[in-house]
Every structure is written in structure tokens, then in C-alpha cells.
Structure 1
Amino acid sequence: MKTTLPLIILLFLCVSAFGQAKFEKGYYITVEGDSIQGYIKNEDWNRNPENIEFKSSSENNSSQMLPLKQVQRFGFEDGDKYETFAVDVDVSPTNLNELVTNASPTIVRDTVMLRVLVKGTLNLFGYTDKSSKTHFYVSKGGEEPRELLYQRVKRNNNDKVGYLTLDLYKGLLSYYLSDCESVQSRVQKVEFKQSQLAALVAAYNACVNPGAVATEPEKEIGKLKLGVIGGFTALNYSFKSGSSSFNNLVNSDFNGQGVTAGLAVNYTLPRAHGKWAIANELMLKPYVAKGHYESSTETSDTEFKLLYLGLNSMVRYAFTTGAFRPFVSVGLANNLMLSDNSRQQRETSRYGTVRQYDEKPLDEVRKYEQAILLGAGVFTDKYAAEARLEKGNGFSFYTALESSKTTLTLQLTYFLR
């Protein structure tokens, strides 16, 4: 059980290393203005690219890496388009623990590739930097794009600390939309989200130039799948204690098996070709493990028979994007004990007196268990097969007795849609 999962993960890592690069038909414009047709590796970037990998034809096995300074803009035949600009970038922190009291925006000058979100009389661009901070830019005609600023600030009021968000972007939008009053009136209700900003800019372009065809990206939404789960589990309970009172548990090897069942919700995140997903599962986890103990004065047979309701929450990463997609997952399980029907039959012999007991192994048990989840498996459109290791803190309530639980589950998920 200790080596099976790492071997599976290593196997999938090796398989992914031999995957074919995903090159798609596209073009790029050099800084001199030359248009070059060919194939570009489409990374479906979460963070805006700093270079592109290009090859002249689909049959060509060699490619070249083109840095920002060589590319004015590039795009795919049926997909994203990017343009390179030297712009002012707000690098102010967004995490609350990094904010400074009454700080002004921190602006730096940088050359970046901006993703085209809306193209028309007013252009809208998107930029996600290395720290995953989201930026939006607008421009008219051939002018330099200007950032729509959205800032968090820290404020001190006597002995209290508060945080504010400053919607500075609304002022710049009002300025740009001033020649279309019906659209300008919507600015104060627009949130700092790509979908709402793109809709506003598209509406403005239609207002000032009704006959023009504006480009707008497809809405970025993830894919939600519901599924049912069945699985087979092998498990082991182990105990540690500095007290001889628990020798019959510490010196027993508790192993067992069982079946699990539940419901799954798998949400595939947009971009990155759908390689990242968030999975949540509601599982019934029956655990049955038996152990035997013998000493010169005592013999015991213990059966732990526990039923848990578990909520598994995981992040999954798929190595490929085809019909057969190896993946790994990591997450946490929160298990609530629904029932405990554990029993222990014990016989002691001391000074010629034999006593027999039929009782609970422990007077009190902890009802809530936390566990770490590690898994590896394969996705298809309808199924997910996975081997998963779960390592939890067990059910011991006593400070003098530490328990741990390890399970290896082979499970199959069938997605309803």
C-alpha cells in the first residue's frame, strides 16, 4: 500500500512526458510589420505569455521560440489573439497581509502581451501577470492602452484596521464612454469582471458605430459534471501509546476491506485546455478492520466496524487533453462518524483466574476525522478510474493513544453529464 500510489503517479508522469505538443494554425506579426503564417503552440495561457513557440508547418518537427521583442502581435485562426505593448502596470499587492496603510498604486513600466478581449472603436485587453493578478486595459484608435485600476487599500481608524476597495476603473470608463450616454450610465454598476467589462465595451462600440463588426472572445466558463461513484477499499488502522493499557491495540495489526459509494461534482476550470479541475465528493465510507492480540496473560480479538460520511475536496491536474487523460489529484477529506458497532472479545488469565469480556474496544471515540488525499487515475468523457491513498488521524479520543488510518481505494466514477 505504501508503494503502489507513487508508482502509479510516476507512470503517468512518464506517459505525459511523451505527449505531443499542441500546435494550432495561426500567425504572428513581426515588429517590422511582416505577417508570418504557420503553427503556434497553444498553451491556453492562464498567465499571459512572454514568448511563443512557432513552426512553419504541421509536418515540421523543429520549432523556434520567439520572445516578446520579436512579436508585435499573434493569434490563432479560431482562437485567442494577443498584442504586444509597452504599458504602465499596477503592481500593488492584493493580499490583505501585504497591504500598506493609505498606499497609492504602485506603477511600473513593462512590455507585455495583452490578450484581445474586445476589438472595435474602444478596445479591451486582458492581462494576468506572474503573480496571477488580473489587469484590464482600454484604448481607442492607435493610442497606448491604459489600465483600468482596481485597488485594495488598508485604512487605520484609531485602533481598528479596515480594508477598502477603490473602483478607480469606473472614472476612466466614464471618460471613454462619454459620447454614448445610454452606455455611460451603466458604468457605476459594472463589476471588475471580464464578462461585465467586455459586455459594456461591446455595447459602447455598437452604440457609436452600429454597422461595425466587433470582435469579442467566447465567454470563459468551466465545465460542470455530476457523477456517481463506486469503489473497493483496503484499509489499515495502527495505534501508538506509551501506556501498557492499550497493548492489545498497539500490538495488533488491523486490516480490512470494504466498498464505498457516493456522489461527485467535478468542475473543470476554463483555460489551460481544461487540465485543472476541482472535485468534490460526498461519500459513504464503511470501515471494517479486524486484529488479533496474544500475550502470556491476555488474548483479544477486536473488530472495528465504523461508518463515516465523508466530504472529499480535491484539485486535479490532467496531463493531456485527448480522449484518454491521465491525471493526479491532491486534497483533504473531512469524515464524520455516523455509527460505531465495534466490539472486542477479550480473555485474561491472572493468578489462575480466567475472565472473559465482550465490550467496546474504546469507551469514547472521536467522531470527526481529517485526512490527506493523494490519487492518480485516468479520465474519459464518461468515466474516471482512480487509485487513491487516504491518510487520516483515525478515531482515538485519548491523549495517551494515537491512532492513524491508511486506505487505498480503487474507485470508478460515472459522469451523468
Structure 2
Amino acid sequence: MKLNLLFLTILFSTLNVFSQTIFEPGYIIKTNGVKVDCLIKNEDWKGSPTTFDYKLEENGEIKTGTLNNVIEFGSVQSFKYLKATVNIDQSNDNINDLTDVRNPEMKEETLFLKTLIEGKASLYYTENDKIKRYFYKLDDGEIEQLIYKRYLATPTKIGVNERYKQQLATTLNCSKLNESSFENLEYKVGKLVKLITNYNNCINSETVVFTKNIQKAKFNLTLRPGVTFSSLSILKSGDERIDFDTNTGIRIGLEAEYVLPFNNGKWSIFIEPTYRNYKSEKEFLYVDFLTIKKTTLITAEYNSIELPLGARHYMFVNQDAAFFLNAAIIVDVAMMDSKVVSSNENGYDLDVDADVAIALGVGFRFKNRYSIEARYHTSRQLLNYDSIDSSYNSFALIAGFNFL
């Protein structure tokens, strides 16, 4: 119970810190054409946001920008969104939902398009239901979708409408772009950005590339030693409960973390093979042959390699510091001399067979190098016997050093 209260106290104290929102310098342009410098909450939106938060000063009121009151918002060479009314394909790209219709199903929509490149030729992007759509504009012309659509050419064969190649080939006229530049062009952000950039360079157009700061996936490998505070109780049918003292043990883990390439690196998944140990002794008075009372020394030893597999969410204080929350499922992959033994009562010579547990953690990371975490493990059974109930609880303080 004390471990639970300690963890909850740390968790709620930290959540109070998390409630502070970090904004970055940017601007908005209102529907009346007035440009306002402000601070914008950069959510690294995957698609087209319908709203966003901003404030006029650090301690100012948080306001909401929408399609009704903003025509553009962004941060210099970091991100830029432009309100546009465009015809956009409504076709589903899920392989199980493809139709035999080759032409796109266009519908007019008003949305914030993400600017990828801005110049004489500009490139834009949106995403809906994991379907990526790219748009382009030449000079002061209309913004048009670059058409790419998969369809069923036959009941067993997928065809592809690649009209985007023709769209670009007929409008981007430059001596440095030849026929193969378009024929081999893939409908991917990197390939399209490269082509548009080459065209703008060819005609000596000033170009702003907003993809330079696109969040990329990262991989961290962290050494994570720590201490554990663990307790165990055993209740055998017909006997009194044995409550072992809380034991301080060691743990050491090696965590592999994959930071997902969206939402400004706020989400990650991790796996952490960990050695941990617990050992405690307890004298126990039991009845032998119905009437004779005897004392036995029961020793519980639990050493294992456990494997937490979980997800983590970061809340950034600034560029160098972040708090985080994580949750993981824990299974033991190897037992190392784990057992419960009695000095003179065979009924308490038991094998350890641990159940799955859940781990909940809260921590702080600095400069993506150093970290500290408080982690609570839910109660788990250590003994797999029908007549015995066991409850193992633990809490850990973990330090981390990322060496990648």
C-alpha cells in the first residue's frame, strides 16, 4: 500500500507539470489579411488540422485558430499551413475496398494544406485515413491535386492511375528535366520534393523547403540500472498468511527505444531485457501432526530476466528536457535459481512461476542522454499452485544513460 501511495503521489505531481503547454514562435494570417506574430503549439499534424492552438504572448490566453478565422499559419522554415479550397479524390486506397473505377472521385473541400515547398512551383500535402494526397501549384495558378489512384484492373489485378506524371511533365518545362524524370517518378514525398526543387533551381526561382525539419524516426539504446523495493506474501490453504519484509534489490536493463516519426517525437515504443532480484526470509510458526507447533525459516528467492514491452509518451519542457509516462507488459523469459524453500517443512519447498504483470512509469529525460524514472509494477502471482495464493509487489527507481 505504501508503494502504491508513493507512486500515485509522484504521478499526480508530475501530471501537474505536464499541464504546462510549450509553444514555439510563429504567425497567423487572419481572414482580413492581417498577419499576427504569436506562439503556436506545434502538434506535428499528420494530416490537415481543423483547429490549432496559439497565444499572443508567453503567459497569454490560449486561442483557437480555425478555417473560419485563419487563412494561413506557420513557423519560419519549420512548418506552414495554407487554407485552400481544392478538389480532392475521395477514393479509398485500402486494398480490400478498391473499385474497378480508374478515374478519381473528386469532391470540393476546404482545408489547411501542409506546405512542403514554396517557389515558382509549390508542393502541398494532406493525409486522411492514412491515404496521402499531394497537390501542386505553378506561379499564381490554382492548387491542383496530383492524381494517383489504385483500382481493380481485373478482379485479381491492381491497376494504377498515374496521371500525376503527365500533370507535372506538361507544366514543369525545364532543360534539366527530361522524359525519364517524370516516367520514373514515384508518388512519394522525397521524390516529389526533389523534382519540384530541381525545377525551381533550373529556372532560378527562390525556394523555401519546409521538409527540412520533418520529424524522423529515432532509435535510442539506453543502459538502465536501478533499485527495486519488493514485497511478497504467501497464503497456503489451512495456514496463516506469510508476509515477507520489503526487500531492496538491484535491477539492470538495456532498453531499445524506437521514437515514432510523428507528433514531434512525443511517442515511442520500447523493449527492455532486465535482470532483477529479490530475496527475503521469514520465520513461520506452523502446526505439525495437528497439535505440535514448530518454527521454520522460509526463504523466498526470485531472480529473473524479465522483458517489459511497452509504449511511452513525452511531454517536452524545452528542447533539452522532457517528462514522460509509459506503460508496459512484463513477462519473465528466464528464471535464475528462483525458489521458495523451508528449513524443515517440505510443504513450503515451492517452485517459482511468475505471472504477467503491468508496469506504469513516470520519469524525466535530459538532453536525450540522461533519464530517471519511478516505475510501479502491479501485483503478480509468483507461485502456480491451486492451494497457494501469492502476491508479489514491486516499485523501482531507475537511472538511464543513452549511448546512441
Decide which of 194, 197, 208 is 1:202's aligned counterpart.
197
Pair 1:325-2:322 in alignment: yes
- Show the counterpart of 1:183: 181
TM-score (ref. length: structure 1): 0.76
Alignment partners' CA distance in 2, 1:3 and 1:165: 58
1:199-278 equivalence runs, <5 A? 199-206=194-201, 209-216=202-209, 217-218=211-212, 219-238=214-233, 244=237, 251-254=241-244, 255-278=246-269
**Shift in CA distance, 139/231, structure 1 to aligned 2, threshold 3 Å:** same
- Show the counterpart of 2:301: 305
Pair 1:136-2:133 in alignment: yes
Alignment partners' CA distance in 2, 1:8 and 1:269: 26
TM-score (ref. length: structure 2): 0.78
User: 1:80, CA displacement in angstroms?
Assistant: 0.5
**Shift in CA distance, 308/210, structure 1 to aligned 2, threshold 3 Å:** farther
**Shift in CA distance, 21/395, structure 1 to aligned 2, threshold 3 Å:** closer
Decide which of 385, 389, 396 is 1:409's aligned counterpart.
396
- Show the counterpart of 2:112: 113
Tell me if the contact between 1:306 and 1:337 (Cα under 8 Å) persists in the aligned partners.
no
Pair 1:361-2:350 in alignment: yes
- Show the counterpart of 2:271: 280
Alignment partners' CA distance in 2, 1:45 and 1:107: 27
**Shift in CA distance, 185/90, structure 1 to aligned 2, threshold 3 Å:** closer
User: 1:231, CA displacement in angstroms?
Assistant: 0.5
1:18-57 equivalence runs, <5 A? 19=20, 21-28=22-29, 30-32=30-32, 34-47=33-46, 48-55=48-55
User: 1:123, CA displacement in angstroms?
Assistant: 3.1
1:46-88 CA-to-partner distances (Å, cap 9, x unmatched) read: 34322344555x4783454332123222221242111112234
Alignment partners' CA distance in 1, 2:325 and 2:88: 36
Coordinate RMSD, CA, aligned: 3.6
1:66-145 equivalence runs, <5 A? 66-89=65-88, 99-100=96-97, 102=99, 109-129=108-128, 133-141=130-138, 142-145=141-144
- Show the counterpart of 1:3: 5
1:93-143 CA-to-partner distances (Å, cap 9, x unmatched) read: 6778xx5475868765432101111234543222244x5x34222223222
Alignment partners' CA distance in 2, 1:402 and 1:152: 59
Equivalent AA in structure 1 for residue 362 of structure 2: A
Alignment partners' CA distance in 2, 1:379 and 1:332: 22
User: 1:387, CA displacement in angstroms?
Assistant: 0.6
**Shift in CA distance, 69/221, structure 1 to aligned 2, threshold 3 Å:** same
Pair 1:389-2:388 in alignment: no
**Shift in CA distance, 24/340, structure 1 to aligned 2, threshold 3 Å:** same
**Shift in CA distance, 272/293, structure 1 to aligned 2, threshold 3 Å:** same
**Shift in CA distance, 101/42, structure 1 to aligned 2, threshold 3 Å:** closer
1:26-46 CA-to-partner distances (Å, cap 9, x unmatched) read: 342x445x2413114132333
User: 1:388, CA displacement in angstroms?
Assistant: 0.3
5+ residue gaps, structure 1: 158-163, 348-355
Alignment partners' CA distance in 1, 2:43 and 2:247: 45
Calculate percent identity across the aligned residue pairs.
19
Alignment partners' CA distance in 2, 1:23 and 1:269: 21
* Partner secondary structure for residue 295 of structure 1: strand
**Shift in CA distance, 68/393, structure 1 to aligned 2, threshold 3 Å:** same
**Shift in CA distance, 200/406, structure 1 to aligned 2, threshold 3 Å:** farther
307-316 or 370-379, larger mean C-alpha shift: 307-316
5+ residue gaps, structure 2: 289-293
Alignment partners' CA distance in 1, 2:340 and 2:271: 33
Equivalent AA in structure 1 for residue 142 of structure 2: E
